[in-house]
Amino acid sequence: MMRTEQPATANRNELQPDCDSWYSHGATKLLSSSANRGWSGLSAEVRAYGKSVIPWQGAQSDILICVDIRGSGSRVTRRSSGIADRTVTRRGTVWLTPAGWREGSIDIADDLPEMAHIHLAPSQFSPGKLGANIDESAIGGLRYESAFEDPLLGEIARAIASELQRETSGGRLLIESLASSMAARLVQKHVGAPAAQSIASFAREGLDRRRLFRVLDYIDANLESDLTLDRMASIACLSRFHFARAFKQAVGQSPHRYVSARRLERAKAVLIQDDRPLVDLALALGFSSQANFTRAFSEATGRAPGQYRRELGSRQRGPALADIGQAVAVLQ
Protein backbone atom coordinates (compact mmCIF):
# COMPACT_ATOMS: atom_id res chain seq x y z
CA MET A 1 0.00 0.00 0.00
CA MET A 2 2.78 2.44 0.67
CA ARG A 3 6.42 3.27 0.22
CA THR A 4 8.05 3.29 3.62
CA GLU A 5 11.37 3.68 5.35
CA GLN A 6 13.17 0.35 5.31
CA PRO A 7 16.58 -0.90 6.44
CA ALA A 8 19.60 0.37 4.52
CA THR A 9 19.49 -2.60 2.13
CA ALA A 10 15.96 -1.80 0.97
CA ASN A 11 14.62 0.81 -1.39
CA ARG A 12 12.13 3.17 0.25
CA ASN A 13 10.40 3.63 -3.09
CA GLU A 14 9.51 -0.06 -3.33
CA LEU A 15 6.10 -1.25 -2.18
CA GLN A 16 6.04 -3.33 0.97
CA PRO A 17 4.99 -6.88 0.12
CA ASP A 18 2.84 -7.14 3.25
CA CYS A 19 0.73 -4.22 1.98
CA ASP A 20 0.06 -5.59 -1.51
CA SER A 21 -3.21 -7.15 -0.41
CA TRP A 22 -4.70 -3.71 0.28
CA TYR A 23 -5.02 -2.96 -3.40
CA SER A 24 -4.90 -6.35 -5.11
CA HIS A 25 -8.50 -7.03 -4.10
CA GLY A 26 -11.61 -5.05 -4.95
CA ALA A 27 -11.90 -1.70 -6.70
CA THR A 28 -9.05 0.66 -5.85
CA LYS A 29 -7.36 3.61 -7.51
CA LEU A 30 -4.05 5.25 -6.68
CA LEU A 31 -4.60 9.02 -6.53
CA SER A 32 -1.13 10.17 -5.45
CA SER A 33 2.08 8.73 -4.02
CA SER A 34 5.30 9.89 -2.37
CA ALA A 35 7.39 7.56 -4.53
CA ASN A 36 10.36 9.41 -6.05
CA ARG A 37 9.70 12.52 -3.96
CA GLY A 38 12.79 11.98 -1.79
CA TRP A 39 10.81 12.32 1.44
CA SER A 40 12.46 11.47 4.74
CA GLY A 41 10.79 10.00 7.82
CA LEU A 42 7.48 8.98 6.34
CA SER A 43 5.93 7.86 3.09
CA ALA A 44 2.35 8.09 1.95
CA GLU A 45 -0.24 7.30 -0.65
CA VAL A 46 -3.76 8.54 -1.18
CA ARG A 47 -6.14 5.95 -2.62
CA ALA A 48 -9.80 5.54 -3.45
CA TYR A 49 -11.47 2.25 -2.47
CA GLY A 50 -14.66 0.68 -3.68
CA LYS A 51 -16.92 -1.68 -1.78
CA SER A 52 -14.82 -4.73 -0.95
CA VAL A 53 -13.43 -7.12 1.65
CA ILE A 54 -9.64 -6.84 1.74
CA PRO A 55 -7.15 -9.22 3.38
CA TRP A 56 -4.95 -7.11 5.59
CA GLN A 57 -1.63 -7.29 7.44
CA GLY A 58 0.18 -4.56 9.35
CA ALA A 59 3.58 -3.20 8.35
CA GLN A 60 6.61 -5.05 9.69
CA SER A 61 8.57 -2.07 10.99
CA ASP A 62 6.62 1.17 10.53
CA ILE A 63 3.60 2.57 12.31
CA LEU A 64 0.65 2.82 9.94
CA ILE A 65 -1.81 5.71 10.20
CA CYS A 66 -4.84 5.67 7.91
CA VAL A 67 -7.08 8.73 7.65
CA ASP A 68 -10.33 9.32 5.78
CA ILE A 69 -9.53 12.62 4.08
CA ARG A 70 -12.93 13.43 2.67
CA GLY A 71 -15.45 11.73 4.99
CA SER A 72 -17.58 9.22 3.14
CA GLY A 73 -19.99 7.84 5.73
CA SER A 74 -19.01 4.30 4.78
CA ARG A 75 -19.18 1.54 7.36
CA VAL A 76 -15.72 0.00 7.80
CA THR A 77 -15.11 -3.16 9.84
CA ARG A 78 -11.57 -4.18 10.72
CA ARG A 79 -11.16 -7.72 12.06
CA SER A 80 -8.12 -9.38 13.61
CA SER A 81 -7.82 -12.31 16.03
CA GLY A 82 -11.25 -11.98 17.59
CA ILE A 83 -11.29 -8.17 17.40
CA ALA A 84 -14.01 -6.51 15.34
CA ASP A 85 -13.68 -2.73 15.09
CA ARG A 86 -16.70 -1.20 13.34
CA THR A 87 -17.10 2.47 12.54
CA VAL A 88 -18.97 4.77 10.19
CA THR A 89 -16.27 6.99 8.78
CA ARG A 90 -16.25 10.77 8.97
CA ARG A 91 -13.79 13.35 7.68
CA GLY A 92 -10.69 12.85 9.78
CA THR A 93 -11.45 9.35 11.08
CA VAL A 94 -8.13 7.73 12.02
CA TRP A 95 -7.00 4.12 12.22
CA LEU A 96 -3.71 3.42 14.01
CA THR A 97 -1.84 0.16 13.46
CA PRO A 98 1.38 -0.55 15.40
CA ALA A 99 4.34 -2.14 13.62
CA GLY A 100 4.12 -5.89 13.17
CA TRP A 101 0.40 -6.15 13.89
CA ARG A 102 -1.06 -9.53 13.01
CA GLU A 103 -3.14 -10.10 9.91
CA GLY A 104 -6.87 -9.69 9.54
CA SER A 105 -9.36 -8.20 7.08
CA ILE A 106 -11.03 -4.90 6.20
CA ASP A 107 -14.70 -4.88 5.15
CA ILE A 108 -15.60 -1.67 3.28
CA ALA A 109 -19.38 -1.35 2.90
CA ASP A 110 -19.40 1.72 0.62
CA ASP A 111 -16.94 3.72 -1.43
CA LEU A 112 -14.02 5.45 0.32
CA PRO A 113 -13.11 8.15 -2.23
CA GLU A 114 -9.98 9.54 -0.51
CA MET A 115 -7.99 7.58 2.04
CA ALA A 116 -4.50 8.60 3.17
CA HIS A 117 -2.13 5.81 4.19
CA ILE A 118 0.91 7.08 6.07
CA HIS A 119 3.87 4.98 7.20
CA LEU A 120 5.86 6.60 10.01
CA ALA A 121 9.38 5.28 10.54
CA PRO A 122 10.57 4.32 14.06
CA SER A 123 13.48 6.76 13.65
CA GLN A 124 11.00 9.63 14.08
CA PHE A 125 10.83 8.87 17.81
CA SER A 126 14.56 9.35 18.42
CA PRO A 127 15.80 12.06 20.85
CA GLY A 128 17.38 13.95 17.96
CA LYS A 129 13.99 14.28 16.30
CA LEU A 130 11.76 14.95 19.32
CA GLY A 131 14.24 16.42 21.77
CA ALA A 132 13.13 13.99 24.46
CA ASN A 133 14.31 10.58 25.60
CA ILE A 134 11.50 8.21 24.66
CA ASP A 135 11.92 4.63 25.82
CA GLU A 136 11.91 2.32 22.79
CA SER A 137 9.71 -0.11 24.71
CA ALA A 138 7.11 2.65 24.99
CA ILE A 139 7.03 3.07 21.22
CA GLY A 140 6.84 -0.69 20.83
CA GLY A 141 3.89 -0.55 23.18
CA LEU A 142 1.74 1.53 20.87
CA ARG A 143 -1.67 -0.07 21.06
CA TYR A 144 -3.93 -1.35 18.33
CA GLU A 145 -6.58 1.37 18.22
CA SER A 146 -10.23 1.26 17.30
CA ALA A 147 -11.11 4.01 14.84
CA PHE A 148 -10.98 7.40 16.54
CA GLU A 149 -10.98 11.11 15.74
CA ASP A 150 -7.97 13.35 16.33
CA PRO A 151 -8.20 16.82 14.76
CA LEU A 152 -4.42 17.30 14.76
CA LEU A 153 -3.64 13.97 13.08
CA GLY A 154 -6.41 14.71 10.61
CA GLU A 155 -4.89 18.09 9.73
CA ILE A 156 -1.44 16.56 9.37
CA ALA A 157 -2.82 13.90 7.02
CA ARG A 158 -4.57 16.54 4.92
CA ALA A 159 -1.36 18.58 4.71
CA ILE A 160 0.52 15.48 3.53
CA ALA A 161 -2.19 14.73 0.96
CA SER A 162 -2.05 18.34 -0.28
CA GLU A 163 1.72 18.14 -0.75
CA LEU A 164 1.27 14.86 -2.64
CA GLN A 165 -1.21 16.47 -4.99
CA ARG A 166 0.55 19.83 -5.44
CA GLU A 167 4.30 19.67 -4.88
CA THR A 168 6.02 22.75 -3.44
CA SER A 169 9.71 23.67 -3.39
CA GLY A 170 9.76 23.39 0.41
CA GLY A 171 7.78 20.17 0.45
CA ARG A 172 10.54 17.95 1.75
CA LEU A 173 11.06 20.27 4.71
CA LEU A 174 7.32 20.32 5.32
CA ILE A 175 7.16 16.52 5.38
CA GLU A 176 10.08 16.31 7.81
CA SER A 177 8.28 18.72 10.13
CA LEU A 178 4.98 16.87 9.80
CA ALA A 179 6.69 13.55 10.55
CA SER A 180 8.02 14.99 13.82
CA SER A 181 4.64 16.49 14.70
CA MET A 182 2.88 13.20 14.02
CA ALA A 183 5.38 11.27 16.15
CA ALA A 184 5.00 13.76 19.01
CA ARG A 185 1.22 13.52 18.81
CA LEU A 186 1.29 9.74 18.96
CA VAL A 187 3.56 9.89 22.00
CA GLN A 188 1.32 12.43 23.72
CA LYS A 189 -1.96 10.65 23.09
CA HIS A 190 -1.26 6.98 22.52
CA VAL A 191 1.90 5.89 24.33
CA GLY A 192 1.51 6.71 28.00
CA ALA A 193 1.91 9.35 30.70
CA PRO A 194 5.72 9.22 31.27
CA ALA A 195 6.50 9.61 27.57
CA ALA A 196 3.90 12.34 27.17
CA GLN A 197 5.38 14.24 30.12
CA SER A 198 8.80 13.98 28.50
CA ILE A 199 7.43 15.57 25.32
CA ALA A 200 5.67 18.28 27.33
CA SER A 201 8.91 19.21 29.09
CA PHE A 202 10.59 20.57 25.92
CA ALA A 203 12.55 23.76 26.44
CA ARG A 204 10.54 26.86 25.58
CA GLU A 205 13.26 29.34 24.67
CA GLY A 206 13.37 30.57 21.09
CA LEU A 207 16.26 31.07 18.71
CA ASP A 208 18.70 33.77 19.75
CA ARG A 209 19.89 36.16 17.03
CA ARG A 210 23.29 34.51 16.62
CA ARG A 211 21.88 31.04 15.97
CA LEU A 212 19.03 32.39 13.85
CA PHE A 213 21.38 34.33 11.54
CA ARG A 214 23.60 31.28 11.26
CA VAL A 215 20.61 29.24 10.08
CA LEU A 216 19.44 31.96 7.66
CA ASP A 217 22.93 32.24 6.18
CA TYR A 218 23.01 28.47 5.74
CA ILE A 219 19.64 28.50 3.97
CA ASP A 220 20.69 31.25 1.55
CA ALA A 221 23.93 29.44 0.75
CA ASN A 222 22.12 26.16 0.04
CA LEU A 223 18.91 27.13 -1.74
CA GLU A 224 19.95 24.98 -4.69
CA SER A 225 20.98 22.06 -2.49
CA ASP A 226 19.11 19.42 -0.53
CA LEU A 227 18.12 21.47 2.53
CA THR A 228 16.96 19.32 5.42
CA LEU A 229 15.28 20.17 8.68
CA ASP A 230 17.73 17.93 10.52
CA ARG A 231 20.71 19.95 9.28
CA MET A 232 19.12 23.30 10.09
CA ALA A 233 18.15 22.06 13.54
CA SER A 234 21.70 20.88 14.19
CA ILE A 235 23.07 24.31 13.21
CA ALA A 236 20.65 25.84 15.72
CA CYS A 237 21.60 23.21 18.34
CA LEU A 238 17.97 22.18 18.77
CA SER A 239 15.92 19.05 18.17
CA ARG A 240 14.04 18.99 14.88
CA PHE A 241 10.67 19.20 16.63
CA HIS A 242 11.69 22.18 18.74
CA PHE A 243 13.56 23.93 15.92
CA ALA A 244 10.52 24.08 13.64
CA ARG A 245 8.53 25.87 16.34
CA ALA A 246 11.36 28.17 17.44
CA PHE A 247 12.05 29.17 13.83
CA LYS A 248 8.43 30.11 13.21
CA GLN A 249 8.36 32.11 16.42
CA ALA A 250 11.49 34.02 15.40
CA VAL A 251 10.79 34.55 11.69
CA GLY A 252 7.00 34.49 11.52
CA GLN A 253 7.03 31.66 8.99
CA SER A 254 7.59 27.93 9.20
CA PRO A 255 10.91 26.71 7.77
CA HIS A 256 9.32 25.22 4.65
CA ARG A 257 7.38 28.42 3.85
CA TYR A 258 10.48 30.56 4.35
CA VAL A 259 12.57 28.28 2.13
CA SER A 260 9.82 28.18 -0.52
CA ALA A 261 9.73 32.01 -0.64
CA ARG A 262 13.53 32.29 -0.85
CA ARG A 263 13.64 29.66 -3.60
CA LEU A 264 11.02 31.57 -5.57
CA GLU A 265 13.23 34.67 -5.42
CA ARG A 266 16.23 32.59 -6.47
CA ALA A 267 14.26 31.17 -9.39
CA LYS A 268 13.31 34.67 -10.55
CA ALA A 269 16.94 35.81 -10.43
CA VAL A 270 18.22 32.75 -12.28
CA LEU A 271 15.57 33.05 -15.00
CA ILE A 272 16.59 36.66 -15.64
CA GLN A 273 20.35 36.27 -15.33
CA ASP A 274 21.16 33.07 -17.23
CA ASP A 275 19.83 30.52 -19.69
CA ARG A 276 19.97 27.46 -17.48
CA PRO A 277 17.54 24.73 -18.70
CA LEU A 278 14.27 24.81 -16.74
CA VAL A 279 14.51 21.15 -15.80
CA ASP A 280 17.92 21.75 -14.16
CA LEU A 281 16.57 24.71 -12.22
CA ALA A 282 13.51 22.75 -11.14
CA LEU A 283 15.58 19.89 -9.72
CA ALA A 284 18.05 22.28 -8.06
CA LEU A 285 15.20 24.01 -6.23
CA GLY A 286 13.74 20.82 -4.81
CA PHE A 287 11.07 19.86 -7.34
CA SER A 288 10.75 16.32 -8.63
CA SER A 289 9.93 17.49 -12.17
CA GLN A 290 9.90 20.53 -14.45
CA ALA A 291 6.10 20.28 -14.66
CA ASN A 292 5.69 20.69 -10.90
CA PHE A 293 8.10 23.63 -10.90
CA THR A 294 6.21 25.29 -13.74
CA ARG A 295 2.88 24.88 -11.94
CA ALA A 296 4.17 26.30 -8.64
CA PHE A 297 6.02 29.19 -10.31
CA SER A 298 2.99 30.09 -12.43
CA GLU A 299 0.70 30.10 -9.40
CA ALA A 300 3.09 32.37 -7.49
CA THR A 301 3.89 34.86 -10.27
CA GLY A 302 1.11 34.62 -12.83
CA ARG A 303 3.67 33.67 -15.50
CA ALA A 304 5.19 30.40 -16.61
CA PRO A 305 8.99 30.28 -16.07
CA GLY A 306 9.73 30.51 -19.80
CA GLN A 307 7.40 33.48 -20.20
CA TYR A 308 8.94 35.18 -17.15
CA ARG A 309 12.42 34.69 -18.62
CA ARG A 310 11.40 36.08 -22.02
CA GLU A 311 9.59 39.13 -20.65
CA LEU A 312 11.68 40.21 -17.67
CA GLY A 313 14.96 38.92 -19.01
CA SER A 314 14.66 41.11 -22.09
CA ARG A 315 13.77 44.12 -19.95
CA GLN A 316 16.84 43.60 -17.78
CA ARG A 317 19.14 43.13 -20.76
CA GLY A 318 17.58 45.81 -23.00
CA PRO A 319 18.81 48.90 -21.10
CA ALA A 320 22.25 47.39 -20.76
CA LEU A 321 22.55 46.96 -24.53
CA ALA A 322 21.32 50.53 -25.09
CA ASP A 323 23.89 51.86 -22.64
CA ILE A 324 26.61 49.97 -24.50
CA GLY A 325 25.45 51.48 -27.78
CA GLN A 326 25.55 54.98 -26.36
CA ALA A 327 29.03 54.43 -24.96
CA VAL A 328 30.29 53.22 -28.34
CA ALA A 329 28.78 56.28 -30.04
CA VAL A 330 30.57 58.60 -27.62
CA LEU A 331 33.89 56.84 -28.13
CA GLN A 332 33.55 57.15 -31.89
| Domain positions in the chain | 17-202, 255-331
| pLDDT the model gives residue 259 | 94
Q: Are 92 and 150 in contact (CB under 8 A)?
A: yes
Phi, psi of 265 (to 5 degrees): -65, -40
* DSSP bridge pairs for 118: 44, 65
Question: Exposure string (b/e) for 142-168, b if CB count within 10 Å is 16 or more?
Answer: bebbebeebeebbebbbebbbbbeebb
42 near 120, Cβ under 8 Å?
A: yes
Tell me the CATH number for domain 255-331.
Answer: 1.10.10.60
**Least confident interval from 36-45, 237-246, 273-282, 306-315:** 306-315
CATH architecture of 17-202: Sandwich (2.60)
Residue 87, pLDDT above cutoff 70: yes
pLDDT at residue 323, as a whole number: 42
pLDDT of residue 2: 36
φ/ψ of 20, rounded to 5, equals: -55, -35
Predicted structure pTM score: 0.78
What share of the chain in percent tops pLDDT 70?
75
Lowest mean pLDDT among 66-70, 72-76, 309-313: 309-313
In the predicted structure, residue 193 carries a pLDDT above the cut 80 = no
Name the burial class of residue 321, with classes exposed (0-12), middle (13-18) and buried (19+) by CB atoms within 10 angstroms of its CB: exposed
| Region of poorest pLDDT, from 118-132, 254-268, 307-321 | 307-321
The residue-averaged pLDDT of 139-165 equals: 85
pLDDT at 12: 43
Q: What percent of the chain has pLDDT above 90? A: 46
Q: Give pLDDT tens digits for 227-236.
A: 999 999 999 9
Please state, in angstroms and as integers, the Cα–Cα distance from residue 261 to each residue in 70, 169, 213, 282, 308, following that order: 29, 9, 17, 14, 17
Tens digits of residue pLDDT in 289-326: 999 999 999 999 999 999 999 888 755 554 443 443 44
Higher pLDDT, 38 or 127: 38
What's the CA gap between 150 and 166, in Å, rounded? 24
CA distance 267 to 281: 7
